[in-house]
């Protein structure tokens, strides 16, 4: 799809970000006119091309910016990207009057080429689908879920310590060979340059508190990776001892009436009751639920532990809450919100450019490209049709359908400009020339026409000799 200029709502959104940026930092000059227009253009081009690629931006923008100019602005224009992202969050919160919500934490992978060397944060990842391994980037995300919208409010790239990774691998191999622990290499000291996912998640929570101190956080939700005392207790303390809900693994030890046993064994002795659970305020689903306030050994404190098994499932999942005063029903209801971060990942990767990210190099390339894609997500919440739905308290539109509507609007704008020109025929010729240039036909490497493939048949003389030798 193509466009001549960013739509008004995109320009307005970037202008609002600039306004908040100047208000929060009076000494800052904010964004220049050229920077505002360039960012608006890139947000628009990301919607049109579903990519972050300067060559594609040049094509869909009908040559408004050249590939070289786009890349130069990205690298050297001194745009305060990190502050830009936080100001974008503030704009959305103010637009929709959001004063409270629930924070969700999870991580997501971005597959990269095995030969990639200049892209930052690339390392070996476990493929959750196949069980194998791949090269890619791993990100820890923070989402805010309010009673109206869900928006990304923080992120951090995760990268394992290569020294500890090598030690872990060697230690496992030596252990398999039966070498005693005292004869194996000692564990290397922790390198602060490589924070864990738990440390990154806590950092994101602190940053959110710093940037948005007036937002009331009802709860923090996370999966089993963050179900440790090292995360739960500090996370709760950040927002004044609020609720933190996570998961326990089935073999984690709990203590009940002086007896220590795995959590799954405990709930096998105390089977649950059938309930109807309303998921995310929508439909009701059947489930078996059991709960108890148990001392979790690895945490060193009591947690409100819940065994949950949906109808049709074979195994239980074990949730826990840090605040013991909540009802079982309320803990279950709020935990179902965690699924929304998976929906965000799907939309973000499928429609907002990150899934087709080009090879933006270095720490800045990866981080700034990511921020650009998240600005698209924020900007779509200010689209007029979306705003109207939210104002009427009606279900909002999907990202895919919204972007399709925007593409149609851009195409109609191009047609309108063409028809309203003094010389439509001349303008059509110019547009045709531009389109032909920007969307040029490219030679295929699949078909062999015009290439010398050799004779591919025996020569008469050599064939005669072969027959003679055979006889």
pLDDT in tens, 60-80: 888 888 888 988 898 888 889
Could you tell me the pLDDT band of residue 33, with boundaries at 50, 70 and 90? very high
Q: Are the beta carbons of 105 and 338 closer than 8 angstroms?
A: no
Q: What percent of the chain has pLDDT over 90?
A: 43
- pLDDT at 115 (0 to 100): 58
pLDDT at 261 (0 to 100): 93
Name the pairing type of β-strands 243-248 and 216-222.
parallel
In our burial notation (b when 16+ CB lie closer than 10 A, e otherwise), range 58-96 reads: bbbbbebbeeeebeebbeeeebebebbbbbbbbbbbebb
Q: Give the list of residues 6+ apart from residue 240 with CB closer than 8 angstroms, or none.
A: none
The C-alpha atoms of residue 85 and residue 21 are separated, in whole angstroms, by 10
Q: Which residue has the tokens 């050599």?
A: 462
Q: What is the dihedral of CA 24, 28, 29, 34, to 10 degrees?
A: -80
Percent pLDDT > 70 in the chain is 95
pLDDT at residue number 162: 85
3-state secondary structure of 364: helix
CA 253, distance to chain mean position in Å, is 33
The pLDDT value recorded for residue 358 is 64
**Helices vs strands, H then E, count in the chain:** 16, 12
Confidence of residue 460 (pLDDT cuts 50, 70, 90): confident
d(CA 289, CA 228): 23
pLDDT computed for residue 114 by the predictor: 60
Q: What is the pLDDT of residues 399-448, one digit of tens each?
A: 999 999 999 888 888 888 888 888 888 878 877 877 777 677 777 777 77
Contact of 292 with 321, CB cutoff 8 Å: no
80-159+194-397, which class in CATH? Answer: alpha beta
In angstroms, the CA 429 to CA 422 distance is 13
143 CB burial (10 A radius; 0-12, 13-18, 19+): buried
């Amino acid at each position: 799809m193509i466009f001549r200029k960013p739509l008004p709502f995109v320009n307005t959104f970037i202008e609002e970000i600039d306004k908040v940026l100047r208000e929060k930092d009076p000494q800052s000059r904010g964004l220049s006119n050229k920077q505002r227009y360039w960012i608006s253009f890139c947000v628009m081009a990301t919607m049109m091309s579903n990519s972050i690629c300067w060559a594609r931006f040049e094509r869909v923008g009908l040559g408004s910016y050249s590939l070289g100019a786009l890349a130069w602005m990205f690298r050297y224009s001194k745009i305060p990207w990190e502050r830009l992202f936080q100001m974008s969050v503030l704009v959305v919160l103010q637009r929709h009057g959001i004063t409270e919500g629930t924070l969700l934490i999870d991580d997501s992978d971005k597959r990269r080429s095995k030969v990639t060397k200049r892209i930052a944060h690339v390392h070996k990842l476990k493929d959750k689908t196949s069980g194998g391994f791949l090269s890619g980037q791993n990100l820890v995300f923070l989402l805010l879920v309010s009673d109206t919208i869900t928006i990304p409010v923080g992120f951090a790239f995760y990268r394992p310590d290569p020294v500890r990774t090598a030690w872990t691998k060697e230690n496992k191999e030596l252990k398999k060979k039966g070498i005693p622990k005292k004869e194996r290499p000692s564990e290397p000291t922790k390198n602060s340059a490589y924070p864990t996912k738990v440390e990154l998640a806590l950092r994101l929570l602190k940053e959110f508190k710093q940037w948005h101190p007036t937002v009331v956080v009802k709860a923090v939700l996370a999966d089993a990776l963050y179900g440790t005392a090292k995360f739960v207790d500090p996370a709760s303390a950040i927002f004044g001892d609020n609720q933190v809900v996570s998961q326990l693994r089935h073999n984690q030890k709990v203590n009940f009436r002086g007896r220590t046993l795995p959590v799954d064994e405990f709930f096998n002795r105390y089977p649950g009751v059938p309930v109807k659970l309303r998921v995310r305020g929508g439909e009701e689903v059947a489930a078996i639920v059991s709960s108890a306030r148990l001392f979790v050994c690895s945490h060193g404190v009591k947690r409100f532990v819940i065994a949950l098994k949906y109808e049709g499932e074979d195994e239980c999942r074990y949730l826990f809450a840090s605040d013991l005063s909540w009802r079982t029903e309320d803990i279950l209801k709020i935990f179902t919100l965690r699924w929304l971060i998976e929906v965000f990942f799907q939309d973000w990767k499928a429609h907002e450019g990150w899934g087709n990210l080009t090879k933006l190099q270095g720490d800045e390339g990866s981080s700034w490209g990511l921020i650009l894609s998240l600005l698209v997500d924020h900007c779509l919440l200010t689209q007029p049709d979306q705003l109207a739905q939210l104002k009427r308290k009606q279900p909002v539109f999907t990202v895919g359908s919204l972007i399709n509507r925007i593409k149609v609007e851009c195409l109609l704008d191009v047609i309108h400009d063409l028809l309203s020109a003094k010389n439509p025929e001349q303008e059509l010729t110019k547009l045709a020339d531009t389109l032909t240039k920007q969307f040029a036909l490219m030679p295929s490497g699949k078909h062999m026409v015009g290439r010398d493939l050799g004779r591919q048949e025996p020569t008469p003389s050599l064939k005669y000799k072969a027959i003679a030798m055979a006889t």
